[in-house]
Amino acid sequence: MSETLQLAHQLISRRSLTPADDGCLDIIGARLAPLGFSLEKMRCGEVDNLWARRGNAGPLVCFAGHTDVVPTGPLDRWDSNPFTPAVRDGMLYGRGAADMKGSLAAFVTAIEKFIAGHPQHRGSVALLLTSDEEGVAVDGTVRMVEALRQRNEPIDYCIVGEPTSVAKTGDTIKNGRRGSLSGTLTVKGVQGHIAYPHLVRNPIHLTAPAIAELAATVWDEGNEYFPPTSWQISNIHGGTGAANVVPGTVEILFNFRFSTASTVDGLKSKFCAILDRHGLEYDLRWELSGSPYLTPRGNLVDAVSAAIREVTGVTTELSTSGGTSDGRFIAGICPQVIELGPLNATIHKINECVAVADLDALSEIYRLTLVKLLTE
């Protein structure tokens, strides 16, 4: 059993259902302290966070991730206990194996091997770890980033261990993510008896033409790295439950997934202009859960891509698809952020798993990336 597999076993054995850490950070900290890392725990609410750093000089290379996992789902549908790691046919099974305790184990063993081979490396190495990524994500990475910003401790390069690979480890890295802007729109009408349409104003009917225009609107064309911005309705609710009553309001929940080709203010302005053009009376609440970020080709992308090619022979593809990640917070203090981890086919599923061989390959990719950024 390799060092990476052994550590993954230890971490998976911890029932770290979000926002619980259940001792994962202590396990990792015990491996880092003998390497000369200073360990700074940040407890926020029910969330455990860890900032670990070795060195004081730049550039600073940071590995970022989370110890918390999503609920298991029905235990009787798992082939083995989700918190008792099991290896079958070359696959490691357990909740968090792919998302993302396997990556955390690979982080640590990569750092151990790198320091053993380059004890006098230039720059610094750090880990930014939280137990609040799978949950509401308000007391985890965002809090640590705020603390680092306040004391003027920027990060030069960051690798987030999210599972990004599709068919083979390293075939896809995320070099950015779209922003997420949600809204709750309440359109007002006049409630009344459905048999007397001249006495009512049906907000559903009033809103329908605006919905059609919003759905057909081209918000932007995207760019080299991002697809065009999309707008989608996730929920519509109107009515009292009675079949003979026209509702007084209709509530619509919607979301923009937007690229760097658009701005928050621009999307809001364009959205409201369409509503106003249709003469709607409405209330509108906005919630920005993440701004888009992008890391173009440069030192970090080149180093990671070269490491992947040397270890796996794969030419990696850059992608900005998918949902949000904690990279959106880190991008505020780090100009180059990418995500690289194992295959994402089983994440959050029953019988979540990762290939044992992929864990060792991932560790070697992370190690080579450190070599390229801090020694060459």
Tokens coding 271: 């959205």
Q: Check if the beta carbon of residue 323 is closer than 8 Å to that of residue 77.
A: no
Q: What b/e string do you get for 126-148 counting C-beta neighbours within 10 Å, with b at 16 or more?
A: bbbbbbbbbbebebbbbbbbeeb
Question: Is 133 noted as a catalytic residue in this protein?
Answer: yes
Helix/strand/coil for 46: coil
Q: Which helix (H) or strand (E) holds 63?
A: strand 60-66
- Which of the following is catalytic: 21, 48, 68, 364? 68
Question: What CA–CA distances, in Å, run from 274 to 67, 103, 186, 267?
Answer: 43, 45, 15, 11
What's the token pair of residue 227?
């697809």
SS3 251: strand
Going by C-beta distance under 8 Å and a sequence separation of 6 or more, which residues neighbour residue 273? none
**Separation CA 140–CA 53 (nearest Å):** 17
Does residue 326 carry a catalytic annotation?
A: no
Choose, from 99, 133, 162, 339, the residue flagged as catalytic.
133
Residues 274 and 259: their CA atoms lie apart, in Å, by: 20
Show which residues are catalytic.
68, 133
